[in-house]
Structure 1
Amino acid sequence: MHIPHRSRLRALVSAACTAALGASLLAGAGTATAAAPAAPQAKAGSKIVGYFTEWGTYDRKYYVRNIETSGSAARLTHINYAFGNVTGGKCAMGDSYAATDRAYTAAESVDGVADTWDQPLRGNFNQLLKLKKKHPGLKILWSFGGWTWSGGFGDTAKNPAAFAQSCYDLVKNSKWAGLFDGIDIDWEYPNACGNSCDTSGREAFKNVMAALRSKFGGSALVTAAITADASGGGKIDAADYAGAAQYVNWYNPMTYDYFGAWDATGPTAPHSPLTSYSGIPKAGYNTSATIAKLRGLGIPASKLLLGIGFYGRGWTGVTQAAPGGTATGPAAGTYEQGIDDYKVLKTKCPATGTVGGTAYAKCGSDWWSYDTPATLATKMTYKNQQGLGGTFFWELSGDTANGELIRAIH
């Protein structure tokens, strides 16, 4: 899941909410009748999409310059800038200071040139424009929503055309002309529960994506991060992702955060398993099941990207090294309990085993799971075998200073 600011905790879905959604989940799937403009396509398997977080420039001190110095910029095909807000049925700025106002020193700047007090555009947007000058083939999309800001999407479903117009006007604003090559929608989750519960109906997501494609036209990129819940009657079934697929260039199924310390006592389980394994806590909670479910709906493999987390999730109070142990709560993390970056965990708690195609680590009473360059090699083989459109990951600041994980993807 993609979660702005500090919180990356999964909300527990209440029985009442599930019951309230029941009728809409059972609604039949309609088929789109409006013709969609042709969407530009890239070679299947070649996309490498990384999220850059707006708030990462604060405590994390991860700047656009770091994308360049880590070697990541040369390996990325696309950057998703996270996040814009969704409020009042419209797209809106997230943090305008970080995006357009913050002055960068020469040492912080992509090209070594300091911002001046009177220049019309500063902040992340100006730095990203500088990065694009260095890498003319790099495309950037503005992502809207995420865990915290997805509550506004229900209103967009009431007037998709007005929402699409607001997004177009913001993304294509002349103040940052040439920066964004399209829009990414991170609705968590249509007609289902995330940080809040949405009851806009099964067709809402398709209608919104159709309106965005109609407004942005065939030359712009329109993508969406979508649920990876492939369990029976799960979130994939709640919305017409198959019907909406004709309007998107690709989907980013969030094939991570399957398990974590929101289940404080365990059982311990890797948050991003590639495959099922004996003892996995919940059927359908693995990458292979998610991809199979989506492909089974008729969504082309070339429109599905493999999701990777550049972080781990962990518990403490664990005595059992193998997965499936009990815990007393979330392990300590740098910014939040139960989660930490790969760049921290590789040293703090080195991997001690693999299960389901990903790695886990037991150090003291802490138990963590995360992907390593070795497990990413396995996942890239799977991606190629499936003919998927590429790889995306959350998010750039979790990698090492020299880009170990993105090198493994590349």
Structure 2
Amino acid sequence: MPAIRRTSARRAGLAAAAAACALSLLGAAPTGAVAASPEHAGGGQGGGQKELTGYFTQWGIYSGFMEKNLVTSGEMKHLTELDYGFSAVSADGLCSSGDSWADYQRPFSAAESVNGQADQPGQALLGNLNQLRELKAAYPKLKIVMSIGGWSWSGHFSQLAATADGRQKFVASCLDQYVTGNLPGLPAGAAAGIFDGFAVDWEYPGEPGNGNPYGPQDTPDYTALMQEFRHQLDQAGRPAGKHYLLTANTSANPDFAAKLELPKLARVVDWFNVMTFDYHGSWEPAGPTDFASALFQDPRDPNPADKQYSVDQAVRYYESHGVRAGQIGLAIPYYAHEWTGVTAGPNGDGLFQSAAAGAATTPDYKQVVAAPGKTYWDPLAAEPYKYDAASGDFYTYDSPASVWIKGQYIRRQGLRGTFVWSMDEDTADGSLTAALGQSLNGR
């Protein structure tokens, strides 16, 4: 993730207060089941339920992670929304499947399916989308959202969003496929009734992202694109009195967020999924080792000021630029960033130390907990880390304790909730989701 500047609010006094807050939250966190307090409960700044959105990856089934895993792990009782990633964006500026086999062609066996019944020959809809439909039947309160773009499929956003005609055609194609349910090669409406809206994940307006075309025109064009989504979604939902969700996955980097017309966007989106992770990682292979998703800033961080980041900093930036607390959702990673060849340093724990160049990786949380090494806790950042002195391996990641604290932070700040990337990276018993769900909503 590109460098994030600290805002003026993040001075030494605030850092000390934030650290004290983290310590008090940690002290409040029990080791077993936790019950959330009623304060600031809910999707907005008042009462109600906090959002816990999990990302289900289209390709997870190739490594054996099916929608049914969310049921057997117990995670479904904690999720309020499931985002399916991703719909691709075609070269002609339309929504399209990035993997039609995984999306709607792969048959599921009885052992793999949510409802315990095998897909049948001649069945109209197969694949992940049919399993999402089965999840919705079993959990009718669950919202299911199609996420569009992402790191791999944001390359055509800038061009399609540049004209009113391009925006209208693109949005109409997304609704046709994922709301009306008209998927190529299937009977009309075969996928209707599955999706409750869209999460637009353009990475990034006004920035190259994954080497994508971009320019200053992206700033107003992105606003116009989101306004077009809101307009067409409202039209689609009006006959049945249904509100379709529209969320925006946006950067926690102030330099990137400055390319967004946040007050205008806040009038059309239900909330922002602010990507408060990947603060440090594989693009810094030589280190220093640092936190990928620190809640608060550790003042001992040796990085220059424009590379010292925190979740709290991102929240303050969005609030200071016209976004209400109740429209801010925070990202939590279910994966780690790893460095190898890390020197122990004066404290013997590898934190803020140099690493062997070219050795950074991103293992799943379930792999990190089983990896050799000693686990440490930074009370200032409210984040764990692991270091194996024998191999020099260092990991920054989130744990049940840190996600519980983040859940309490979300409640106390009156934020909308959180989204996690991604469900297949948690342990088989869903330990991260359980801790987060208990902290957010007491269940």
TM range (shorter): 0.7 to 0.9
CA distance in 2, matches of 1:131, 1:348: 33
CA contact (8 A) 2:350 2:394 kept: no
Residues 48-82 of structure 1: CA distance to partner in whole angstroms, max 9, x if unpaired?
10000001111x21111111111111211100000
CA contact (8 A) 1:318 1:328 kept: yes
Matched, 1:324 2:352: yes
Query: 1:21 maps to what in 2?
Result: none
CA contact (8 A) 1:128 1:179 kept: yes
Query: 2:290 maps to what in 1?
Result: 269
Query: 2:426 maps to what in 1?
Result: 399
CA contact (8 A) 1:187 1:225 kept: yes
CA distance in 2, matches of 1:90, 1:351: 49
CA contact (8 A) 1:224 1:248 kept: yes
Q: Which amino acid aligns with 1:263?
A: E
**Corresponding residue SS for 2:69:** helix
Q: Hey, which bits of structure 1, 4+ residues long, moved more than 3 A?
A: 41-45
Structure 2 CA distance for partners of 1:350 and 1:154, relative to 1, 3 Å: same
CA contact (8 A) 1:229 1:236 kept: yes
Matches within 5 A, 1:91-170: 91-158=95-162, 159-170=166-177
Give the TM-score normalised by structure 1: 0.85
Matched, 1:51 2:78: no
Query: 2:266 maps to what in 1?
Result: 245
Q: Which amino acid aligns with 1:152?
A: H
User: Structure 2 regions of 5+ residues with no counterpart?
Assistant: 4-42, 182-188, 238-242, 438-443
Q: Cα offset for 1:284?
A: 5.4
Equivalent of 1:360 in 363, 372, 385: 385
Give the TM-score normalised by structure 2: 0.79
Question: RCO greater where, 1 or 2, for CA within 8 Å and sep 6 or more?
Answer: 2
CA distance in 1, matches of 2:356, 2:308: 26
Q: Sequence identity of aligned pairs in percent? A: 35
Query: 1:209 maps to what in 2?
Result: 226
CA contact (8 A) 2:145 2:195 kept: yes
CA contact (8 A) 2:329 2:419 kept: yes
Q: Cα offset for 1:351?
A: 5.6
Q: Cα offset for 1:376?
A: 1.2
Q: Which amino acid aligns with 2:59?
A: W
Matched, 1:298 2:322: yes
Query: 2:194 maps to what in 1?
Result: 179
CA distance in 2, matches of 1:349, 1:384: 34
Matches within 5 A, 1:350-389: 352-355=375-378, 356-363=381-388, 364-389=391-416
Instruction: Pick the structure with greater CA Rg.
Output: 2
CA contact (8 A) 1:391 1:409 kept: no
Equivalent of 1:70 in 73, 90, 97: 73
Q: Cα offset for 1:130?
A: 0.7
Aligned length: 364
**Corresponding residue SS for 1:317:** coil
Query: 1:223 maps to what in 2?
Result: 247
CA contact (8 A) 1:312 1:371 kept: yes
Q: Cα offset for 1:185?
A: 0.5
**Corresponding residue SS for 1:252:** strand
Query: 2:205 maps to what in 1?
Result: 190
User: Structure 1 regions of 5+ residues with no counterpart?
Assistant: 1-9, 14-40, 332-336
Matches within 5 A, 1:303-314: 303-314=327-338
Residues 150-181 of structure 1: CA distance to partner in whole angstroms, max 9, x if unpaired?
11111221232222111111112111111000
Structure 2 CA distance for partners of 1:373 and 1:101, relative to 1, 3 Å: same
Root mean square deviation, CA, Å: 1.7
Q: Cα offset for 1:283?
A: 4.5
Q: Which amino acid aligns with 1:178?
A: G
Structure 2 CA distance for partners of 1:284 and 1:243, relative to 1, 3 Å: farther
Q: Cα offset for 1:45?
A: 5.2
